[in-house]
């Protein structure tokens, strides 16, 4: 037999997101979800120029569009272009 008691548990949640590119706060939709961003987390490995550093980046959609327009090769997949 098990008897249960109610306990309080603390958890971590994202309180705010700011775009690393332009500094703009990322707004929430009517359901409280943040608008889409590009989120990248990268831990640089041994022999890289940033060995041991951890980078966390969020880009708003406007900054993402500006960034990918600088690429030599588009990140847009062929599958998406068929639609
Ligand atoms: Zn931005």
Q: Both tokens of residue 22?
A: 């332009």
The size of the chain, in residues, is: 83
Domain boundaries, the chain: 14-83
Are the C-beta atoms of residues 32 and 15 closer than 8 Å to each other? no
The pLDDT confidence band at residue 77, using thresholds 50, 70 and 90, is confident
User: Residue 83: its pLDDT value, please?
Assistant: 52
User: 24-75 pLDDT, tens per residue?
Assistant: 999 999 999 999 999 999 999 999 999 999 999 999 999 999 999 999 999 9
Q: How far is the CA of 17 from the centre of ligand 1 (A)?
A: 11
User: Residue 7: its pLDDT value, please?
Assistant: 96
Enter the pTM of the model. 0.78
Spatial distance between the Cα atoms of 64 and 42, rounded to a whole number of angstroms: 17
Are the C-beta atoms of residues 25 and 16 closer than 8 Å to each other? yes
Q: How far is the CA of 65 from the centre of ligand 1 (A)?
A: 9
Are the C-beta atoms of residues 65 and 19 closer than 8 Å to each other? no
- Among residues 55, 49, 57, the alpha carbon closest in space to that of 26 is found at 57
Kindly tell me if the per-residue pLDDT of 82 is higher than 80. no
User: Residue 69: its pLDDT value, please?
Assistant: 96
Q: How far is the CA of 66 from the centre of ligand 1 (A)?
A: 9
Spatial distance between the Cα atoms of 77 and 68, rounded to a whole number of angstroms: 13
């Amino acid at each position: 037999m098990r008897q249960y008691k109610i306990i309080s548990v603390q958890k971590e949640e994202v309180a705010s997101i700011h775009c690393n590119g332009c500094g703009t706060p990322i707004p929430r939709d009517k359901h409280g979800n943040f608008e889409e961003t590009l989120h990248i987390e990268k831990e640089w490995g041994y022999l890289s120029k940033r060995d041991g550093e951890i980078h966390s980046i969020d880009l708003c959609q406007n900054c993402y569009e500006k960034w990918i327009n600088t690429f030599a090769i588009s990140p847009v997949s062929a599958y998406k272009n068929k639609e």
